[in-house]
Structure 1
Amino acid sequence: MKAVYGSTVLAEAPADALVKIEGNWYFPPSSLVGEFAESDTAYHCPWKGDTQYWDVGTGDDKLADGAWSYPDLLPGAVERVGTDFAGYVAFDRKVTVSE
């Protein structure tokens, strides 16, 4: 699967390497190929934990807070999803995720 914003590929991995949570595909950190810059945006999910947001893309294809991950999962999150998704990255709906 591939995550693309504008003409910029942000991530690419086989579908079986991704995790789908609440309608969002989470890509493993090793699949990230685009440019990512940490954002100061803060959010806390009551069952996943604190979110790290990322500004993504290059040139005219930049999207503020276009991606997020949960670097340190709360107890029970892995059991709820069925796999360890710490550090996996999901994308804003403006990013096209396709096979």
Structure 2
Amino acid sequence: MPTATLNGTVIAEAAEDDVLHIEGNVYFPPSSVKAEFLTTSPTPYTCPWKGECQYFTVTVDGQALPDRAWSYPHPYPTAFDRVGKDFSNYVAFWKEVQVS
């Protein structure tokens, strides 16, 4: 079962059948993410094929790590064909957030 953790705190957890693997990152369905650890970030980014990205600051035990999570609230419709599924609002993590 894929799990995203920071300093031993579980931020997201889902069955392998429920996550998506996109460009080497694990994307967790929105229902599997503990939203209390995420706050929206103002960092702008638009992926050429996925669309406009929403970054999040991940905060655990007072440690705030900007832009360590992201999602695509409204991906381009053509991205669904490329991924094989609607991944709107699925969340991926990087750097200090360990996904195993």
> TM-score if structure 2 supplies the norm length?
0.91
Pairs within 5 Å for 1:19-98: 19-33=20-34, 34-98=36-100
Runs of at least 5 residues in structure 2 that lack an aligned partner in the other structure? none
Q: Which has the higher helix share?
A: 2
User: What count of residue pairs does the alignment treat as equivalent?
Assistant: 98
Task: Output the aligned Cα RMSD.
Answer: 1.2
1:87 corresponds to which letter in structure 2?
N
Give me the identity figure in percent: 50
The separation in 2 between residues aligned to 1:63 and 1:56, in whole angstroms, is 5
Q: Which has the higher mean CA deviation after the structures are superposed, 55-64 or 68-77?
A: 55-64
Unaligned runs of 5+ in 1: none
Alpha carbons 2:6, 2:60 under 8 Å: kept: no
Distance in 2 between the 1:74 and 1:91 partners? 21
Instruction: Output the TM-score relative to the length of structure 1.
Output: 0.92
Q: What is the CA–CA distance in structure 2 between the aligned matches of 1:50 and 1:74, rounded to whole Å?
A: 8
Compute the displacement of 1:60 (Å): 4.2
